[in-house]
Amino acid sequence: MSFMGKTFQKNIKALSKKDSFLYETLFHNANGYIGVRGTLEEGVPADYNTMRGTYINGFYDIVDMKQAENLCNFIEKKETMLNIADTQTVYLSVNGESFNMAQGTIVKCKRTLDMDRGFTKRDVVWKSPKGDKVEISIKRMTSFEELSLFTIEYKVTALSGNVSLMFSSKHIPEVSNYSDPTDPRLAAESPKFISVVDDGISDGISYALCETSRSKLKCCSVVGHEITDKKARFCTAKDEDGAMTCDVMSDLKKGESVTLIKYSIFTDSLRCDEPLTAAKEKMKKVLGNGLDYYYKKQAEYLENFWGGSMLEIHNDPKMNEAVNFNMYELLCSSAKDSFGNIAAKGLSGEGYEGHYFWDSEMFVIPYFVLTDPYLAKMLISYRYRTLDKARENAKLLGHKRGALFPWRTITGVECSGYFPSGTAQYHIVGDIAYAIVNYYLTTGDLDFIKECGAEILIETARLWLDVGNYVNDTFRINDVSGPDEYTCMVNNNYYTNRVAKYNLIWAVKFFEKLEELNMAKELSSKLKFSKNELDEMKEAAEMMYFPKFGKDGVIPQDDSFFDKPVWNLKATPKDKFPLLLNYHPLHLYRYQVCKQADTVMAFFLFPDAVEKNTQKKSFEYYEKITTHDSSLSKCAFSIVASKLGMQDKAYKYFGNSAEFDIRDLHDNTSYGIHTANMGGSFMAVVYGFAGLSINEKGISIAPFVPDKWSGYSFKIRFMGSRIRIDVTKEEVSVVLEEGEAFAMKIYGKKTKITKKKTVVKV
């Protein structure tokens, strides 16, 4: 079974405040380097909420973060992602009347995200107040072929009679960021971070070189135009407000069409020494190639992407649409170089100020490890590039050795102002270690371990040695916060101690493996790594302490968790969720109530650490006290429910996770997509329903099909080979599509996977 035509569409009868803001996210364009919100070219009414942003991955400025009591080494400034320019704006007048979705008559309107060809489209039939009827088709693309390129193809067709058109295309280099002081996930102020240092118009092409106020980084935007009407009149000039405007006049007879093509190039000083020179050269190349060339390359790139990233749900078109949307957005959000990573909102909006979290390692990298290992390696390489800053961060926190990666960051500097639920989440270093091990176990890429991975694991293992201490022959980790942000600053968080133990074990394993192959001498010399430290790591891992089970056999989230009263979630009014926006943190910390999967998440990562019956009892306990106020939670619950044989619960949690953004289930997608949850929903199918497991013993699957589906299919990579897996209620089939044959366990039975399809009856 094949699902053809990966598109997402919305028919619009009239402009609405809520939907207009939401569609800016759902129909944004991004390619991992640049992201452009899906705002209307002509804008919206003044009383509408809009976030008119264009972003570069990893490009930032520095802002003050005031502390009421500035204690030792508290964070006093942070980095924030910038809105860099507005090249989206195109005004259209039809016989002197301005096209506007809020005036005249919208005869019909449809917005489309084409995930096969990599563009968004708005098709409108509009009747002006005076009665002129035109068809408007606007196609937008951020190119995967030329990552600096954003295009707008604006086509107008006269439907009712002759019309005189004027396109007024703007290039606005000085813009401000969005703000919402009522939401802690967004900036509280709306400052202007960049200023023009050089701009002008040459041969009809406008350019602007800007500099940030404090980081002193430079970005450049260059804009050029083409029009299909050879008789069109052009006029490009600089306005009094600093914007540059290209006015294009064209006359149409009934039935005729004209198309304006707007090319925008963006560059930055992180990636090139002379961004203005680079941008002009790129524009020259782009104009020489033409738009059709980039449309063709876009389709080819995505054909290759979907060829290796397929996930199809049989007989459930809505769910199929959701999972394809999620995979596409992950591709669009992920940096294609080591200068950026993947932000909590991707490049779709300014929620969380463009910061990178543990989301990348635990929810996004697993997706790319299985579908595009090169991109997974790029994301991990970003952590290696910021390793020195992680070492500095550890020293600021009082550690004599090791590396502590920041909880939220852009360049590797801590940007979390509230340390109990931010910096104290030391588990992030174990998460990064886990991702590196996962990459290695799936790809066998020992060269990457030698070059980057082993150094990260040794430095993070050193951190655990420094933060922990021995009590009664047990190694304990005190005063940290686990993933659950409603329980902070605790001793021996179960999840944290698990990832710490794993981190220590694999630091030792990698070093000893490199030593066996005579590849460790350079690393040992660089890090001044001794056998004593190696032995310390072995001992700490072996002696790692975990909270003792409760009377009912449930694993406590931390040492004191069961000493607290249980929060009555059923009695909590619906308008009090999410709890973090309605209750003081200290109030939440004194109850048994969880924002998200914590101990349950550990069951997914370490399925053999405790017996299944203990996991089941614990799962059922935490299920009753978890609000899922975090978008990261339900996908984790779905995976663990699958592993524990709770198939109905697994499907219920999966549905809420997969459709989170495309159906706006938390009513906050307007501020940006939830990239980690998108990766988590893929994991819920592949690791959950399909029972995928990859460890030192190899790869195995044990699939089941949810009752509402007839089956599902997906492709993954393992050790350089690509396989296709088809699951129905009757059988599982696996075929090698690319690479060398290898052995896989299916329902516990070892099977050789070759180009001849292997079929196993359920």
* pLDDT, tens only, 308-364: 999 999 999 999 999 999 999 999 999 999 999 999 999 999 999 999 999 999 999
Question: pLDDT tens for residues 719-751?
Answer: 999 999 999 999 999 999 999 999 999 999 999
Nearest by Cα to 215 from 70, 352, 406, 411:
411
Which among 321, 455, 485, 659 is annotated as catalytic?
A: 485
CA distance 693 to 687: 7
Q: Over the stretch 78-112, which tens digit does the pLDDT of each residue have?
A: 999 999 999 999 999 999 999 999 999 999 999 99
Q: How confident is the model at residue 183 (pLDDT cuts 50, 70, 90)?
A: low
Looking at the domain assignment, is residue 387 inside a domain? yes
Whether residues 581 and 523 share a domain: the answer is yes
User: What is the pairing mode between strands 698-701 and 742-746?
Assistant: parallel
Residues 643, 602, single domain; the answer is: yes
In the chain, DSSP finds a helix count (H) and a strand count (E) of 20, 30
pLDDT higher than 70, residue 218: yes
The rounded distance, in Å, linking the Cα atoms of 762 and 753 is 17
Instruction: Tell whether 473 and 598 lie within a shared domain.
Output: yes
Question: Is residue 126 within 8 Å of residue 99, measured between CB atoms?
Answer: yes
Percentage of residues in the chain having pLDDT higher than 70: 98
Both tokens assigned to 453? 């991975």
DSSP conformation letters of 247-265: EEEEEE-TT-EEEEEEEEE
pLDDT value for 3: 39
Only one residue has tokens 């060269």, namely 447
Report d(CA 140, CA 123) in Å as an integer.
12
What are the Cα distances from residue 58, in Å, to 90, 588, 661? 27, 34, 23
602 and 664 fall within a common domain: yes
Quick one: 280 and 356 in the same domain? no
405 and 416 share one domain: yes
* Statement to judge: residues 275 and 395 lie in one domain: no
Based on the domain organization, do 123 and 161 belong to the same domain?
A: yes
If pLDDT is split at 50, 70 and 90, which confidence band does 68 have? Answer: confident
Instruction: Pick the closest to residue 689 from 727, 724, 656 (CA basis).
Output: 727
Domain that holds residue 144: 8-62+77-306
109: CATH: 2.70.98.40
Q: How many CB atoms lie within 10 A of CB 576?
A: 10
Q: What gap in Å lies between CA 133 and CA 183, rounded to an integer?
A: 42
Does residue 186 have a pLDDT over 90?
no
What pLDDT score does 2 carry? 36
- Flag whether 729 is in a domain: no
What per-residue confidence (pLDDT) applies to 190?
57
Whether residues 515 and 612 share a domain: the answer is yes
| Tens-digit pLDDT profile for residues 431-477 | 999 999 999 999 999 999 999 999 999 999 999 999 999 999 999 99
- How many CB atoms within 10 Å of residue 519? 16
Least confident of 173-182, 494-503, 538-547: 173-182
Around Cβ 757, how many Cβ atoms within 10 Å?
12
In contact, 99 and 59? CB cutoff 8 Å: no
Task: Give yes or no: residues 469 and 433 share one domain.
Answer: yes
Element (H, E) at 749: strand 749-753
Asked if omega into 181 is within 30° of 0 (cis), the reply is no
Q: How far is CA 80 from CA 39, 87, 355, 539, in A?
A: 21, 21, 7, 41
Closest CA to 207 of 252, 238, 247: 238
Residue 180: per-residue pLDDT: 74
Choosing from 284, 306, 328, the residue where a domain stops is 306
pLDDT in tens, 222-244: 999 999 999 999 999 999 889 99
- Domain count of the chain? 2
Catalytic site includes residue 539: no
Whether 50 is covered by a domain: the verdict is yes
Percent of the chain with pLDDT over 90: 95
What six digits make up the tokens of 409? Answer: 């960051």
pLDDT given for residue 179 in this prediction: 77
Length of the chain: 762
Q: Tell me whether residue 68 is exposed, middle or buried, using C-beta atoms within 10 angstroms of its C-beta: 0 to 12, 13 to 18, 19 or more.
A: exposed
Which domain CATH number covers 508? Answer: 1.50.10.10
Among residues 641, 722, 717, which one has the least CA distance to residue 685?
641
The Cβ-side half-sphere exposure at 697, using a 13 Å CA radius, reads: 8
**For all residues of the chain together, what is the average pLDDT?**
96
Q: Is residue 268 situated within a structural domain? A: yes
Please state the rounded mean pLDDT for residues 257-278.
98
- Tell me the one-letter amino acid at 673: I
699 domain residue, yes or no: no
The answer as to whether 343 is a domain residue is yes
Residue at which a domain ends, from 253, 272, 306:
306
- List CB contacts of 363: < 8 A, sequence separation 6 or more: 632, 635, 675, 676, 677, 678, 679, 680, 683
22-43 pLDDT, tens digit each: 999 999 999 999 999 999 999 9
pLDDT at 550: 87
Q: Of 306, 341, 356, which residue sits at a domain end?
A: 306
Confirm whether 717 is domain-assigned.
no
Query: CA-to-CA distance for 331 and 320, rounded, in angstroms?
Result: 17
Residue 545 covered by a domain: yes
pLDDT digits (tens, 9 = 90+) for 681-723: 999 999 999 999 999 999 999 999 999 999 999 999 999 999 9
Residues with Cβ < 8 Å from 284, sequence gap 6 or more? none
Q: Pull the structure tokens for residue 32.
A: 């991992």
SS3 755: coil
Over residues 613-663, the pLDDT tens digits come to 999 999 999 999 999 999 999 999 999 999 999 999 999 999 999 999 999
By C-alpha distance, which of 497, 511, 510 is closest to 541? 497
Same domain, yes or no: 251 and 333: no
Does residue 181 surpass a pLDDT of 90? no
The pLDDT of residue 1 is 32
Q: Are residues 263 and 405 in the same domain?
A: no
Q: What is the pLDDT of residue 421?
A: 96
